[in-house]
Structure 1
Amino acid sequence: MEEFARLLAKDISQSKENNVENLARGGNSPYAMYKVEDVLILSHSLGAPSISILLNELIKLMHHAHCNSMTFIRIGQSGGVGVRPGTVIVSEQVFDAQLRNSHEVVVMGKPQLWPTKLNGQLAKDLIDMNMPANDGFEAIAGHTMSTNDFYEGQFRLDGAFADYNEVDKQVFLSQLVEKGIRNIEMESTAFAAITHKANIRSAIVCVTNLNRLNGDTITATKEQLDVWDRRPQKLVSRFIQQNLNIPSSTTKVNFSPNSKTTQ
């Protein structure tokens, strides 16, 4: 996120990129936070619990800062399904590991299913930012599968356990392809569900670092991965440059008045 903050500072800010500073440094924050003009850039760790904590904290922050016009965009890496490694996927829909368009939240022992809805127009606008001939990569729309773990949940064969075989895995991957799922990761259901519940328009932009139809292990070099990792950054930075001074929807953030800001 520091790298993205520096890129954004170079692209949109009057200040120099070397002025970027981690605003969460020195505390007990589990994430880093940077601010470039009117853009907040935050990191999160792996999985739905991590991004859920971040989003709860961030939504409270936005509420108390009286911000009612916001756009949340998640960028990151993912495993591709039937696409060339290095392809950027802009999520249209998000499915959980049971192929439901929902994120399961257990509240006081009772499961709740929160719908995973993203902003379709925002996704289209982000794809329109892609210039394949000049960028050297393609950004496409696709569905995303989000799981609770990296190995069994993503039906890998290179973990400590696997009660299935290559044939089982390929049959299930074929089902995902038919359903329009083009990448797999671990945060999108929580991100889509929480931003939708908060009435915040949102999008997910992830690069693929392998094609799961061809194997479970990343074979790209570190240099290749570094190049691919910058692709969502480039796309989103271009979108921000064109839309920074254009207000998004002015709908009010859905926030419980009984919530207390974490100290």
Structure 2
Amino acid sequence: SMASILPASNRSMRPDRNTYDGKSFVHVKNPYLDTMDEDILYHLDLGTKTHNLPEMFGDVKFVCVGGSPNRMKAFALFMHKELGPVEGGEDIEDICAGTDRYCMFKTGPVLCISHGMGVPSISIMLHELIKLLHHARCCDVTMIRMGTSGGIGIAPGSVVITDTAVDSFFKPQFEQVILDNVVTRSTELDKELAEELFNCSKKIPNFPALIGHTMCTYDFYEGQGRLDGALCSFSRENKLDYLTRAYKAGVRNIEMESTVFAAMCRLCGLKAFPISINAIRPVTWELL
């Protein structure tokens, strides 16, 4: 726990400047940011001097992220319709149109952003998104990752609400290489949010949902035990043994972003949970 890590003298220190009046603001953990004349969010085509970030994003309460630009635009249009008339009222526009790395759409308090595939791609986006939310002085923000995944021992089409993001060794941690050090970060998620979402799912007919662990890998083929990649150095038996052990450890689906998503959001004071739709057949079945 934090109490065992922090010295007792911390209790007498000034309150966290990111939290006051009962509101939880987005943290940044970088002392150099305050010394910078301008912060350019390169891959979002936004900046503190070129854009009024508090005016553009200050009311954001929910950030929904997902891999595919087309899927995120479709979700943003869905939210646009569900929320009814909001500011502007016209068709939604890609706020990051000046870059081809990510797309971003805003509908009222909901921000939708694509993050590409894999840990490096979502990590770059999250660094800049978290800085954006900090510069915009957003508070009480909830982060949701929506994506497809491979299921383990669950029905195709199931929605997995992640209670814990784990690595390839079934551990709730993310290992970040910083310079030539390996830093281990916790991937604890907000359990109350997972339960709340699960309870919501019960009210929707024909919506098979479950709570389970989500495993994050660095690769789609060998890292997820597929037999149809350009390289394969293990047997079908090795694969089934591994997936069986994963299932016994509580893993119900596999994707490629959840651990870094959980770790970064946790460090920066954001409530977060990934939802993954098992849109492909379970990986415990025979693959091509």
TM-score for both structures, normalised by structure 1: 0.78
Shift of 1:13: 2.8
Equivalent position SS for 2:112: strand
Counterpart of 1:21 (choices 71, 87, 93) is 93
Equivalent position SS for 1:129: helix
Shift of 1:98: 2.2
In the TM superposition, what whole-angstrom CA distance separates every residue of 1:240-259 from its partner, at most 9, and x where no partner exists?
xxxxxxxxxxxxxxxxxxxx
* Residue of structure 2 in register with 1:5 after alignment: 76
Is residue 154 of structure 1 aligned with residue 230 of structure 2?
no
Is residue 167 of structure 1 aligned with residue 237 of structure 2?
yes
Describe the shift of the 1:156–1:112 C-alpha distance in structure 2 as closer, same or farther (beyond 3 A): same
In the TM superposition, what whole-angstrom CA distance separates every residue of 1:10-36 from its partner, at most 9, and x where no partner exists?
1113159861111111x1251100000
Is residue 58 of structure 1 aligned with residue 125 of structure 2?
no
Is residue 110 of structure 1 aligned with residue 181 of structure 2?
yes
* Residue of structure 1 in register with 2:141 after alignment: 70
Q: Percent identity?
A: 37
Is residue 196 of structure 1 aligned with residue 266 of structure 2?
yes
In the TM superposition, what whole-angstrom CA distance separates every residue of 1:160-183 from its partner, at most 9, and x where no partner exists?
111111111111111111111100
Greater mean alpha carbon deviation, residues 79-88 or residues 155-164 = 155-164
The CA distance in 2 between the partners of 1:157 and 1:175, in whole Å, is 18
In the TM superposition, what whole-angstrom CA distance separates every residue of 1:194-219 from its partner, at most 9, and x where no partner exists?
001112110111100211111235xx
Equivalent position SS for 1:19: coil
Do the aligned residues in 2 keep the contact of 1:99 with 1:145 (CA within 8 Å)?
A: yes
Residue 156 of structure 1 aligns with an amino acid whose one-letter code is R
Which consecutive aligned stretches of 4+ in structure 1 deviate over 6 angstroms post-superposition?
none
In the TM superposition, what whole-angstrom CA distance separates every residue of 1:13-64 from its partner, at most 9, and x where no partner exists?
3159861111111x12511000000111000110000111111101100111
The CA distance in 2 between the partners of 1:38 and 1:216, in whole Å, is 41
Is residue 136 of structure 1 aligned with residue 206 of structure 2?
yes
* Residue of structure 2 in register with 1:123 after alignment: 194
The CA distance in 1 between the partners of 2:100 and 2:236, in whole Å, is 41
Do the aligned residues in 1 keep the contact of 2:172 with 2:187 (CA within 8 Å)?
A: yes
Do the aligned residues in 2 keep the contact of 1:91 with 1:123 (CA within 8 Å)?
A: yes
The CA distance in 1 between the partners of 2:243 and 2:89, in whole Å, is 42
> Cα RMSD between the aligned structures?
1.5
Residue 193 of structure 2 aligns with an amino acid whose one-letter code is L
In the TM superposition, what whole-angstrom CA distance separates every residue of 1:49-85 from its partner, at most 9, and x where no partner exists?
0111111101100111111210000001000000011
Larger RCO, structures 1/2 (Cα 8 Å, 6+ apart): 1
* Residue of structure 1 in register with 2:27 after alignment: none
Equivalent position SS for 1:8: helix
TM-score for both structures, normalised by structure 2: 0.72
Describe the shift of the 1:53–1:88 C-alpha distance in structure 2 as closer, same or farther (beyond 3 A): same
Give the structure with higher Rg (CA).
2
Q: Give 1 or 2: higher helix fraction.
A: 1
The CA distance in 2 between the partners of 1:18 and 1:2, in whole Å, is 14
Equivalent position SS for 2:284: helix
Structure 2 residue runs without a partner (length 5+): 1-71
